[in-house]
């Protein structure tokens, strides 16, 4: 009986050991197959590393893009600067030497207009005063002794073909001591289309000669006379208004007008260089003989 109990006890122990080893093995297998917390932590770490790398590369790309944009903007700024420099460089240096406006004048004429092809009427009452240049120099010479005011109709070939037409041409010439009691500069000249001269009332004065009055201040080569081609240079043209108080009637030839105007040098007309404008340069060459600009009057 004791032997039977001993055998039963040994068998029970063997069965218990066997069952315990099997459960441990099963637990070990489950542990190897199913991910535990340490695996999750490793996965998160790897993902974070890749995420950080992506962010770093993304930042690098953005930095490169920012650098590219900055470079493009720099290039644009450089191009703009170069264009601005070109604009500055293209401004004639001479343009800044002339004030704008370049003076002002007032005038009052009453007289007789000589017929075309005949001796001009030079016994006229022509009051003219004003200043020109950068320092408001008087247009009337200091040593002025007398003046000659002549008015006449132009002949068909008086002006060049480009501006040919019927004009009343009025000039005021100064005679001075310094010129040896001879004509001296500047020369004051009005060119008025005959059709316009017949219309009493207020009209424009500017450099567009076809439908307006043109008033010029110029220098002349007096040794060559006042004939076409004798002009040396142009000081200024006028912009303003003229009031014709006695309209010109061919055959009667009496004429009177008055007005005021502002002077501009062609190189600086309200900030613009208009010296090559055809409506001005053609007239200067045709009526005065040159479109050359005089040196500044300081």
Distance CA 237, CA 229 (A): 18
Residue 84 has pLDDT above 90, yes or no: no
Task: Provide the pLDDT for residue 25.
Answer: 38
Residue 217 scores a pLDDT above 60 = yes
The count of domains in the chain is: 1
Q: Which of 94-103, 105-114, 163-172 has the highest mean pLDDT?
A: 105-114
Q: Encode pLDDT of 10-62 as tens digits.
A: 334 444 434 444 444 344 434 443 344 443 444 444 444 444 444 444 454 44
Q: Residue 143: pLDDT band by 50, 70, 90 thresholds?
A: very high
- Position 147 pLDDT exceeds 60: yes
Does some domain include residue 156? yes
pLDDT at 120 over 60: yes
The range of the structural domain enclosing residue 135 comes to 101-288
Answer yes or no: is pLDDT of 291 > 80.
Answer: yes
Q: What is the pLDDT of residue 279?
A: 83
Q: Does the structure show a pLDDT above 90 at 292?
A: yes
Q: How many Cα neighbours within 13 Å face the side chain of 83?
A: 6
pLDDT at residue 197, as a whole number:
94
CA angle 101, 111, 154 (to 5 degrees): 75
292, 280 Cβ separation under 8 angstroms: no
Name the residue with higher pLDDT: 123 or 233: 233
Q: What is the mean pLDDT of the chain?
A: 74
**Token couple for 69:** 């944009």
pLDDT tens-digit series, residues 165-203 = 788 989 999 999 998 888 899 999 999 988 899 999 999
Contact of 197 with 248, CB cutoff 8 Å: yes
* pLDDT of res. 160: 58
Strand 167-176 to 254-264 pairing: unpaired
Give the pLDDT mean for 224-228.
60
pLDDT value of residue 161:
57
Answer for the pair 194, 156: CB distance below 8 angstroms, yes or no.
no
Helix/strand/coil for 266? coil
Q: Which residue has the higher pLDDT, 260 or 157?
A: 260
**Residue 116: its pLDDT value, please?**
72
| Better-scored residue on pLDDT, 144 or 57 | 144
Q: Is residue 10 part of a domain?
A: no
Residue 92 binned pLDDT confidence (cut-offs 50, 70, 90): low
Q: Is residue 71 part of a domain?
A: no
Comparison of pLDDT for 293 and 37, the residue scoring more:
293
Residue 106 lies in a domain: yes
Encoded tokens for 211:
């439908």
Considering the domain boundaries, does residue 95 fall inside one? no
Residue 55 lies in a domain: no
């Amino acid at each position: 009986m004791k032997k039977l109990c001993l055998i039963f006890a040994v068998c029970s122990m063997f069965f218990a050991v066997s069952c315990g080893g099997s459960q441990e093995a099963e637990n070990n297998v489950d542990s190897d197959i199913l991910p535990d917390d340490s695996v999750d932590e490793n996965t998160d770490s790897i993902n974070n590393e890749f995420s950080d790398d992506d962010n770093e590369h993304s930042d690098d790309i953005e930095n490169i893009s920012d650098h590219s944009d900055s470079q493009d903007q720099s290039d644009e700024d450089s191009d703009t600067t170069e264009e601005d420099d070109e604009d500055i460089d293209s401004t004639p240096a001479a343009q800044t030497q002339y004030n704008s406006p370049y003076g002002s004048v007032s005038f009052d004429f009453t007289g007789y207009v000589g017929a075309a092809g005949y001796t001009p009427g030079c016994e006229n009452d022509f009051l003219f005063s004003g200043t020109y240049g950068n320092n408001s120099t008087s247009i009337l010479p200091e040593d002025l002794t007398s003046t000659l005011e002549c008015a006449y109709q132009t002949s068909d070939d008086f002006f060049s073909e480009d501006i040919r037409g019927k004009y009343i041409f009025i000039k005021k010439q100064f005679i001075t001591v310094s010129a040896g009691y001879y004509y001296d500069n500047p020369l004051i000249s009005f060119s008025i289309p005959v059709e316009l001269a017949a219309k009493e009332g207020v009209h424009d004065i500017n450099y567009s000669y076809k439908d307006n009055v043109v008033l010029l201040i110029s220098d002349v080569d007096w040794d060559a006379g006042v004939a076409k081609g004798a002009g040396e240079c142009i000081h200024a043209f006028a912009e303003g208004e003229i009031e014709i108080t006695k309209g010109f009637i061919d055959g009667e030839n009496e004429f009177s007008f008055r007005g005021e105007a502002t002077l501009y040098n062609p190189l600086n007309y309200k900030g613009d260089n208009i010296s090559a404008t055809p409506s001005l340069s053609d007239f200067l060459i045709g009526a005065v003989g040159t479109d050359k600009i005089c040196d500044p009057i300081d």
